[in-house]
Structure formats: structure tokens, C-alpha cells
Structure 1
């Protein structure tokens, strides 16, 4: 059985060579696919070129002849990039991105490039370090990678992108833009907001508290080391984060009220402990997933992902994992 026949991309253009885009440039090259990069920052472009990568002088030159174009620039720059790329994209090109929020990108593409096939993407593989120097070809190994499948998403294009992400060692998770954004509000946006609040609260305790700060403070505030402009792009405009914050504030208020009444925070500690341990000890089972939009979305909704795209002539089989 041939896992690549008629499916693989021939030329991939990565626009934006920071941590994610730079790592993607490294990882795609290791699969044997031709890949070219572009970055608006001359020093970043020069560093990538000095590392032996093909780097185009303009975004239009980068996408010339590419059958997959990856938008890897910060979210505020996406609409402008989409607008400028329109005349230069090849027929049949697949456009994707790697940003945290999917709805704003989907809206921009539908408004500015309605004729282009778009599959939103979000590899959940970031670290606090940023920029080309932090790029790592192994960054995506075993990382969840959200791939949006809307009602108008062509399944063949989605399958090609899922196959590539599997080749990068990632775990493609089918979802919609709206469901993805609601989910990451709780597992990305909220942790960052809480980390910033913890860092400030710890600072307000004075020099003695900071001199005693150790593992709990360091772990809880770790992602507060992330560049503020990135954090804001992951949070701003995502109304689902309001609901997530309301839930978190409710838990904090309960703990505050218990302490004020000389009662225990044990109920919160017990519930939180169980939630974390149960998440760590989840069990999964292999399944075959129908290659149609609603089945894919349902698979992602229950916590499943794709492990392989198998092709035999015109037949396509999707193998995946789901919670047991």
C-alpha cells in the first residue's frame, strides 16, 4: 500500500521564519519535499539562508510554483499577507496557517481569497523562546496539530495536509475554527492570563516572597516569559476566553470565600488533582475514521486524532486514535 501516491506536496512555501515557521522549514526539508522560506525581517532571512535554506527575496517569489503555502507570520500581519499574495498563488494551491486562533484567519481568507482552498492549522508545539534561533526540526513530534474542516473544506486538500503533518511526526486533530478557538481559550489563553496574574501577585509579595519562590511559582508563571505581543494575539478577540475566565474566577472566588470563613480549600485541591491525574492517565484505542467532514469533526470533538493517511489507488483510509 502506497501512503503517498498522488498526495504529497511538491513545493512548500513558508512565510514567516520565527519559532514555528522556522521549525516547519527544518521539518519539511527532512521529509524530502522542496521548501522555500521568506521573512520580512532581513536578519531572520539572512540567518535562514546562512543555515543552508532556500530563502526568497519577496513573498511573491516564495509562493511561485508552490502547491502549499503556509502563513507563519503574527496574526496582525495575516490579512495584509493574504491580500498581497492573491495574484501570485498557483492554481490549485492549498493555503494554511499555523496561528493560535483560527476564526480571524478563516474570515480574512474567505473575504480576500474566496477562490483559494484554505485549511486552517495550529500546531500546539510552542515554547517560551521565539525566533529563528529557537527553531527545531523535532518541535512537532507527538504534538497535536489542529486542522480545520468546515462544511466547505475540500476533503482531498485536508487529507493532503493531514498526511504532511503525520510525516512531520505530529498528530492532526480535525476540528472547526470555532471549536478550536473555544478549546484553546481554556488550554492556551487562560494559562497565559493566569501566569501573568501569578507573576504580578508574587511580585506584590515583596522581596522576601520572591527570595522564597521555587518550583510552584516557577512552574505556574513559566509562560509569563513569553513575549507580550504574542500573548495578546493568542487572547484578544477570542470571546470564548471570557467564559474560561469566568470559570477560573469562580474557582478562585470559592477558595477565597472558604479561607475567609476559616474553611478549607481541600475541595478545590481534590477536584483539581483528580482532573489533572485523569487527563494524564487517559487511555486510547486505534480506530478507522471515515474521510468525510462530519465524521472527522466528530472524531476531533471526542478527543481523537489521525495517525496515518493510507492510499491505495483511489481508495483512502484514515487511521486514528480516540479515547477508550
Structure 2
């Protein structure tokens, strides 16, 4: 396919937005950035990128608009940007939680063609200095496909994400938020608790801390205000915490009764190994929303959006999904 978009405006130039600015330009998309922080905007401009003085200038003639600011700033950004988004332009974002952004777009920019996005590619470093064009390589990238999502807009964003080397995962906002509660929100909460528990054990424990402590608490280095935006307002995280607490309580009770954590260790070991060794198989589907959402729920993703003259929408999607177990 040809490049899905001709001109992209990236609003917010932190690690994710800045990396997207790099990657889009490298992929041949005319790209302009904007950031409310003057130092960030200056750094991007000094690096050779076109940076607009305000969002209105950035959005002029853009057929793709990316909201790349932290969630608490999205509503104000939408209010400011909505009047300047061109008719027919596609709006997407890069936030961890999708339901709040979906609701904000429906309220403040209902005229836009919105495709919620979440590239799972960030690291604990933040800001423009942490931006890199290779950040999204082989990374999952959730793309929300609701009943009111324009399918053609979704396909265009999916094609672009494939061009960036990432793996578009079709999903709904609700399903995405429930999933990331367990694989993003919960790990961050556990990392903070581990960091504190180790600290409260005294200096001897910290002097003996090695790989297990460092790996388990690594993401506690993330800026706290970012962690809160990934966790707060997501009811699914409560269920995930209840699940984890129940498993920890079971291990605690076993130890208190002179028992063993072996059952938990075995189950956790098996779960991790099965995840690492899972096999995938190719899949081919037409551009059908129900089929795409089913692919995401199966743990699959899209690898390419290709022309298919015999398909109703003129495209066919190639992808991968976990292979059925032979056992």
C-alpha cells in the first residue's frame, strides 16, 4: 500500500510522541510536532524537526493527528485542538488507558474519526531525550475498534503501525484497559511495593540486593505521576490486585503454617515458560470489525494490510495468533 497518511501532527513530544515524530519522518510522512513545554519544543527543533508555535499551526492540513500527552492533559488538548482538526482527518492517541480518552473524544471532538492507540513500547526513562525512531520495533500496539469506529480509518492507522515495525492489536477500549491492568498497572504497583519492602528491611538487605530485587523493582524508577495516570481510573486494576493479593495471602498462610511456596513457584514458573514459548500461526482475514476484534481477544495481531480486489473493502489483513496447543 501507499503511505496511509500524507501529513501528521504529533501533539506532545515526550518519549512516545518524540519517538513517533522520529519514526513517522523516517517512514516518509510529512510530520510536524508541537509541545506546550518550550524547552521540549526547542530541543525537538534543534534536532532538526519542524515544530509549530501552537496547536492550530501544527494541525493545519494534517490528515493524521496524534495526541501524545499524559492522560490528565488530554481533555484540555482536545478542547484546544478540536476546532482546528481538518474534516476527514484521523485522530489517534498513545495513552495507556483507552476508555477515558474515548469518552473525552466523544464529548469534546465528536466530529473526528477517532482510533484509540496504545503502543506498549515505553521504558522508565521519559522525555524528548529518551525518544528514538526504533522504539516501536516489534512492539504490540493496541488499536481500539468500537462499534462506532470508522473501519477505513482503523485500517489506515493499522497500516501505518505496521509500516513502523510494530504489531497492531485490534481491541475495544474496555478489553484493552482490563488487559493492561494486569500487565502494566499491576507490575508497577508491585514494583513500588517491592522497592518499599526492601528499603524497610534495613541496610543489610539493601547491601545484599541483587538481580531479583533489581529486576522486580526496576520500573519503580518511572516518574510517579506517570504511574498514577496508568493506574488511576481503571476499575480493572482492582480485580487484578485482588487476584495478586489472594495468591500472596495463600503463600503467606502456607509459610505461617510451616508449609511451602512450592505450589505458587511451580504455577508461576509454568505460566512464564508457557508465555515465553508460545507458538503463533499465520492468519488471513478480510477487513471485518468482528473478525478483527476476535483476533485481538485470541492474543493475535496484524502484520500487514494488503490490497485484495476480491474483498469487500479492497483489503485483506495478514496476521499472527497463538497456535492451538497440541496437547
The question of 1:148 aligning with 2:153 is answered no
Match of 1:187, SS state, is: helix
Unaligned runs of 5+ in 2: none
Matches within 5 A, 1:49-64: 49-64=45-60
Residue of structure 2 equivalent to 1:86: 82
Residue of structure 1 equivalent to 2:290: 294
CA distance in 2, matches of 1:34, 1:176: 29
Deviation at 1:312, TM superposition (A): 5.0
Unaligned runs of 5+ in 1: none
Matches within 5 A, 1:8-47: 8-47=4-43
Deviation at 1:263, TM superposition (A): 0.4
The question of 1:204 aligning with 2:200 is answered yes
Residue of structure 1 equivalent to 2:322: 323
- Runs of 4+ in structure 1 off by over 4 angstroms are none
Asked if 2 retains the 8 angstrom alpha-carbon contact of 1:309 and 1:319, the reply is yes
Residues 112-171 of structure 1, C-alpha deviation per residue, up to 9 Å, x if partnerless? 111111000000001010000000100000000000000011110000000000000000
Match of 1:129, SS state, is: coil
The question of 1:175 aligning with 2:174 is answered no
CA distance in 2, matches of 1:290, 1:223: 39
CA distance in 1, matches of 2:74, 2:284: 35
Match of 2:148, SS state, is: coil
Aligned CA-pair RMSD: 0.8
Size of the aligned set, in residue pairs, is 320
Asked if 2 retains the 8 angstrom alpha-carbon contact of 1:174 and 1:299, the reply is yes
Residue of structure 2 equivalent to 1:159: 155
Match of 2:302, SS state, is: strand
Asked if 1 retains the 8 angstrom alpha-carbon contact of 2:33 and 2:58, the reply is yes
Asked if 1 retains the 8 angstrom alpha-carbon contact of 2:286 and 2:315, the reply is no
Equivalent of 2:129 in 130, 133, 137: 133
CA distance in 2, matches of 1:62, 1:289: 36
**Which range moved further: 79-88 or 137-146?**
79-88
The question of 1:122 aligning with 2:121 is answered no
Asked if 2 retains the 8 angstrom alpha-carbon contact of 1:96 and 1:118, the reply is yes
Residues 226-268 of structure 1, C-alpha deviation per residue, up to 9 Å, x if partnerless? 0000000000000000000000000100110000000010000
Deviation at 1:86, TM superposition (A): 1.5
CA distance in 2, matches of 1:54, 1:165: 22
- Give the TM-score normalised by the residue count of structure 1: 0.98
Residue of structure 2 equivalent to 1:255: 251
Deviation at 1:85, TM superposition (A): 1.0
Match of 1:21, SS state, is: helix
CA distance in 2, matches of 1:274, 1:119: 36
CA distance in 2, matches of 1:160, 1:214: 46
